[in-house]
Amino acid sequence: MKLFSLLLCLALPLAAQTVRLPGELAPYQRVSLMARVPGIVETVNVDRGSTVRTGDTLIVLRAPEMQARIAEAEAKASAIEAQRVEAEARLTGAESRFERLKSAGATPGVVAELDIILAEKERDAAKMLVAAHDRSAGAARAQTAALKEMESYLRITAPFDGIITIRHAHPGALAAPDSGALLELEQVSRLRLVLPVPEAELSGVQAGRKLTFTVPAHPGRTFTATVARIPRSLDPATRTMPIELDVTNSGLALAPGMYCEVAWPRSLGSAGSQ
C-alpha cells in the first residue's frame, strides 16, 4: 500500500506537467489543379487515390485552334525573316555603292557631290529598314515562343509528390481557367499538425521541440511531431495561437483531417509560471 501511494505521488507531478490539447492534421501542401488555357479534356491519367510524382502528366487537353495559331505565327516569323535577309542584302549593296562613290569623289570632278549624298542617304535608309525588320522578327519570334509555351499548358503535370484526393475532370469536358479545379493534389507523406494553443500555455514555446500525440484511428499508438511554425499572433475570438508542427508520415498511417491530441508540456507555459 505504501509502495502504491509512493508511485501515485510520483506520477501526479508528471501528469500535471502536460496538458492534452486538441489539434488537426492537414496536408503539408495542397493545390487545386486548373486549366491555364481553354481546351477539351483528352485524357485523364489519374483518379482519386492515385499516387503521383513531381512532373507526372495528369491531364492532357486538346486545342486544335492553338496549333493553327502557332502555324500562323511561325509562317509570319519566316516571312519577316525573309524580308530581313533581303533588307540586309540591299544594305550591303547600298554600303558598297556609297563607299565606291566616296572613294571616287576623292578625285575632283569624277563624281558629283549630290550622288555621294544620295548614296549615303540610301545606305542610311537601308540600315533603318534592317533595324525595323530585326525588331519585327524579334516580336514574331517572341509571339511564337509565347504560343508554344501556352501549348505546353495543355499538359497538366504534378507540381510535387502526393496523392490525388478529388477528381472533377473527365474526357470530353470543356476546361478553362474559370471552370474550376480539375484535380485536387495533396502532399501527405509529410503533414502539418495545426494546434490551437491557449494563451496561458504559450510561455516559452520553442521551435524544434518534439512532442507526442495520439489519434483515435490508432488507439494505443503514439506519434511524434516537431514544433515548426509559431505565428506569434493570437486568434482574438478563441484566445489561442495556431502553432504548426511537422509530422513525418512516410508510412501513410495518418491522413489529413484526422483529429489528434497533443501532449503539450505545461512546463513551457502555465506550469512554468506557477
CA separation for the pair 49, 198 (Å, rounded) = 36
Beta strands in the chain (DSSP E): 18-33, 39-44, 51-52, 57-62, 155-157, 162-167, 174-175, 183-198, 210-214, 223-229, 240-248, 259-265
Query: Do 75 and 189 fall into the same domain?
Result: no
Would you tell me how many other CB atoms lie within 10 Å of the CB of residue 271?
18
Residue 223 domain flag: yes
Q: What is the pLDDT of residues 185-203, one digit of tens each?
A: 999 999 999 999 999 888 8
Q: Considering the domain boundaries, does residue 157 fall inside one?
A: no
Is the same domain home to 79 and 201? Answer: no
Count other C-beta atoms under 10 Å from residue 193's C-beta.
24
The parent domain of residue 223 ranges over 18-61+167-273
Q: Which of 93, 124, 152 is the last residue of a domain?
A: 152
The per-residue pLDDT for range 70-85, each reduced to its tens digit, is 788 888 888 888 888 8
Residue 160 covered by a domain: no
259 and 172 in a common domain: yes
Same domain, 91 and 127: yes
CB-based contacts of 43: which residues, under 8 Å, 6+ apart?
59, 60, 171
Query: From CA 127, how far away is CA 84, in angstroms rounded?
Result: 11
Question: Number of folded domains in the chain?
Answer: 2
Assess if residue 9 is contained within a domain. Answer: no
Q: CATH number for the domain including 262?
A: 2.40.30.170
**What's the CA angle centered on 50, arms 190 and 60, to 5 degrees?**
115
How confident is the model at residue 271, as a pLDDT? Answer: 42
Specify the pLDDT at position 95. Answer: 82
- Asked if 256 and 27 count as a contact pair (C-beta separation under 8 A), the reply is yes
Domain final position from 86, 120, 152 = 152
Q: Do residues 175 and 39 both lie within one domain?
A: yes
102 shares its domain with 180: no
Residues 103 and 230 in one domain: no
Pick out the chain residues at pLDDT < 70: 1-16, 105, 109-111, 204, 267-274
Q: Within this chain, do residues 54 and 174 fall inside the same structural domain, yes or no?
A: yes
Same domain, 106 and 48: no
Residue 171's Cα: distance from chain center in Å?
Answer: 25
